Structure formats: structure tokens, C-alpha cells
Amino acid sequence: MERDVIQRLRALWNDLDRNDVMLIGYARTSTLEQEAGFEAQVRDLKALGCEKLFQEQVSSVGERKALAAALEFAREGDTIVVTKLDRLARSVTHLGAIITGLEAKGVALRIENLGVDTSTPTGKLMMNVLGGVAQFEREMMLERQREGIAKAKAEGAYKGRKPTARAKTDQIKALAAEGLSMAAIAAKLGIGKGSVHRVLSDAA
């Protein structure tokens, strides 16, 4: 435990001590892909001059801890490098969020197979276009959601969120007054026993 803390402190010190800009590589394959594809990404990133590598094997919808660590590690002037776009983002919307975060930190993005580098005017233009597409996609999704809710309401099918335990406070108190146990109240009202306990505790 103590050794791990010391190693982390040393790594943090080294990060704080560096003043030069870095090429930071990120490699990812899904857990179902072959090891060879993973090794090829790492090899290509090293050949491109990446000094720091973050790598993981996780599905396209899984949590990407190494990616989050890479984005956190990057500083102003650095460049995040990936071999292909699909290694980085799970969707256009996800890509837009990544681009926004990198721009806020002054970090560039290079996508090798597309020849895109946001440290150049052309690369920045291409990323702005992709970012615009991401925003458009999100707005369209929200609009479809609103239209769906409006239609459901008009047809009487939309009931909104299910009532919470707080909304059933009076019922909980009444059943408790009748002598029902918390477990019985929870089962009768279709809520958790913990919710019943909280309501009765607040009322005490």
C-alpha cells in the first residue's frame, strides 16, 4: 500500500515537472477482438512518436477508464493521437464531447487514418464540422423525444414518472397506523422497505 502511494506521488511529480509538449497515444480494442489488432495500434502509436500510451480492452459501450485518464493527463499544447476514429469515440455525440473537452484544455487531436490534426487550420475545420454534426444529432434526438412525449400525452398514454415513496407518504402513515409492518407496507405499495423506513423516520 505504501509503495503504491509513493509510486503515484512520483508519477504525479514527474507530470508536474514536465514542461515540454507531448504526443499522447490512446489504443483500444473490444474484449472480443484479437490481441494482434491491439498490438498493431500500440506499435503504430509508438512509431508516430507517442511518448505516453494509454491502452485498454473494453467494448464500445463500456466505461473507458484509460481514455478518461488520457484526457485528464493531457495539458495545453499536447496532442492526443489515435490510429482510427472508432478507437476513440462510440458515437458522433461522444466525439463532440471529447472535442469540446480537448479544446477547453488547449489540447489537439490527431486521427491518423483520416489525416486529421486539430493543431492545423484544416484539421480544426474538420473537427468543427464533426462537432456541429454532433450538436445537430443531439438536438434532433431531443426534438424526437419531445414529439414522442407530446403525442403520448395527446393519446392519453403518457403518465410521466412513477410516484415516488414521498408521494405515498399519507398511505404509508395510514398503513403503519393500522399496524402493518414496514415490509408489508412496502409490498402493498410497491416501494422499497428503505423508502418506508425513511418516511416513517421523518414523521417520528
Examine residue 156 and state whether it is found in any structural domain, yes or no.
no
- Cα–Cα distance, 126 to 183 (Å, whole number): 59
Percent of the chain with pLDDT over 70: 82
Residues 8 and 73 in one domain: yes
**191 vs 25, higher pLDDT:** 25
Q: What is the pLDDT of residue 128?
A: 76
Same domain? 130 vs 169: no
- For residue 111, pLDDT beyond 60: yes
**Higher pLDDT, residue 190 or 15:** 190
Q: Would you please indicate which residues are annotated as catalytic (active-site) residues?
A: 30
Handedness of CA 44, 45, 50, 54 (dihedral sign): negative
Mark whether 119 and 183 lie in a shared domain.
Answer: no
156 — pLDDT class (breaks 50, 70, 90): confident
* Host domain of residue 182: 165-203
What whole-number distance in Å separates Cα of residue 24 and Cα of residue 166? 49
pLDDT tens, position by position, 9-38: 556 555 555 557 899 999 998 866 567 788
User: CA 139, CA 166: separation in Å to the nearest integer?
Assistant: 33
Based on the fold, state whether residues 27 and 95 are members of the same structural domain. yes
- Domain final residue, candidates 121, 138, 155: 138
Question: Which grid cell is 14?
Answer: 514527474
pTM of the model as a whole: 0.56
Instruction: Assess if residue 177 is contained within a domain.
Output: yes
Q: What CATH code is carried by the domain that includes residue 133? A: 3.40.50.1390
Tell me if 181 is assigned to some domain. Answer: yes
Average pLDDT over residues 85-89: 86
Shared-domain flag, residues 131 and 177:
no
pLDDT at 204: 61
The number of residues in the chain equals 204
